[in-house]
Every structure is written in structure tokens, then in C-alpha cells.
């Protein structure tokens, strides 16, 4: 184990940046994420889609047929919460549940054709919103930011995986 490692976290005395800088970075990441979600909610309001619904649809658009348990884990929701959300999406004709071919206790969630049209509209809205959000930022800055956030995500996933062991 790395001698500078304490309970899975690097000691503050070994940090490259001041505590104020680290707090500012954490708040900025949180604020940008929160504000982007709020702006996206506002843009999607005319489509009658809630944040929870668009998250489910977005995940299914990447991997249609996910299990209900996978969706709950990806969205960091409990079984009851995801079950109710899927119930509501089913009632509006956006998704359907099917029992898994190998295990009838497992439900797989699939997009209905109606949701694919909605997802297409959501992507257009997202593209327009991103153009507004990223206005004035150079490609080099965007590439650097994306690479930095990707590294941070990898570090967090590694930390969480290591702390589970």
C-alpha cells in the first residue's frame, strides 16, 4: 500500500493544491452539474418529461433491455423507486417490461417506438443546450476538460471498487 494513503484517501498534507482550491473545484463540479440538470429540465418541460424519466430513457437508449436491477444501480435508486418509475413509463407507452428468457424473476426494460421518437427530440434539445453551455469555449479547452473529468471518474470508480474489497 502507498505510504501516503490513509483509509483510501491521500493525506491533505500531500495534496498538490490548497484546501480552498479543492473546495472550489468540488463546488464548481457540483454547481455545473446541478445547473445543467435544471436547464435541461426546463428545456424538456414542453415535452412533458420529468428528470427521472429522461434519465431512464437515456440509459435505455444506450443499452435497451437492461434489467430493472441494472437500471436501479445505474440511477442510484432503490427497487421501489425504480419500480414506480417504470410503472409510470409503462402507462404512458414509453417502455415495456419483459421477463428475462433465462430467469423469469428478472424483468428487462425495453424502449417502445413512442419513446424512440421522444429520445430523438431530447437529443436535439440536448444538442442545442450544449451549444449554449459551451459557447465561447475553445476545442482545446473542451478536450482538456473532458480528459480531466474522465480521469477523475476513473479515479473515483477505482477508489469505490477498492473500498468495497
pLDDT at 56: 94
Give me the tens of pLDDT residue by residue for the chain, a chain 165 residues long: 444 444 555 544 455 667 788 889 999 999 999 999 999 999 999 998 888 898 999 999 999 999 999 999 999 999 899 999 999 999 999 999 999 888 888 899 999 999 989 999 999 999 999 999 999 999 999 999 999 999 999 999 999 888 776
| Residue 5, C-beta contacts closer than 8 angstroms, at least 6 positions apart | 11
Cell 493525506 appears where? 11
Cα 45 vs. chain centroid, distance in angstroms? 19
d(CA 156, CA 162): 10
Q: What is the pTM of this model?
A: 0.72
- The C-alpha atoms of residue 142 and residue 125 are separated, in whole angstroms, by 20
Q: Does domain 19-133 have CATH number 1.10.10.10?
A: yes
Q: Extract the runs of DSSP E, i.e. beta strands, from the chain.
A: 5-6, 9-10, 66-67, 95-99, 107-111
Q: Could you tell me which residues come within 8 angstroms of residue 7 by beta carbon, excluding any fewer than 6 positions away?
A: none
Provide the residue ranges of all domains of the chain, joining segments of one domain with +: 19-133
Amino acid at each position: 500500500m502507498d505510504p501516503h494513503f490513509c483509509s483510501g484517501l491521500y493525506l491533505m498534507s500531500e495534496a498538490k493544491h490548497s484546501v480552498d482550491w479543492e473546495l472550489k473545484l468540488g463546488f464548481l463540479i457540483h454547481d455545473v452539474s446541478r445547473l445543467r440538470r435544471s436547464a435541461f429540465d426546463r428545456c424538456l418541460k414542453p415535452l412533458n418529461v420529468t428528470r427521472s424519466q429522461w434519465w431512464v430513457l437515456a440509459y435505455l437508449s444506450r443499452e435497451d433491455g437492461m434489467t430493472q436491477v441494472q437500471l436501479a444501480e445505474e440511477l442510484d435508486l432503490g427497487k421501489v423507486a425504480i419500480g414506480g418509475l417504470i410503472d409510470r413509463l409503462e402507462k404512458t407507452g414509453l417502455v415495456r417490461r419483459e421477463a428475462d428468457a433465462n430467469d423469469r424473476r428478472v424483468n428487462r426494460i425495453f424502449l417502445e417506438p413512442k419513446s424512440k421518437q421522444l429520445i430523438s427530440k431530447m437529443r436535439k434539445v440536448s444538442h442545442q443546450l450544449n451549444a449554449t453551455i459551451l459557447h465561447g469555449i475553445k476545442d482545446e479547452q473542451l478536450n482538456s476538460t473532458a480528459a480531466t473529468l474522465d480521469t477523475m471518474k476513473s479515479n473515483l470508480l477505482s477508489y469505490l471498487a477498492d473500498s468495497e474489497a
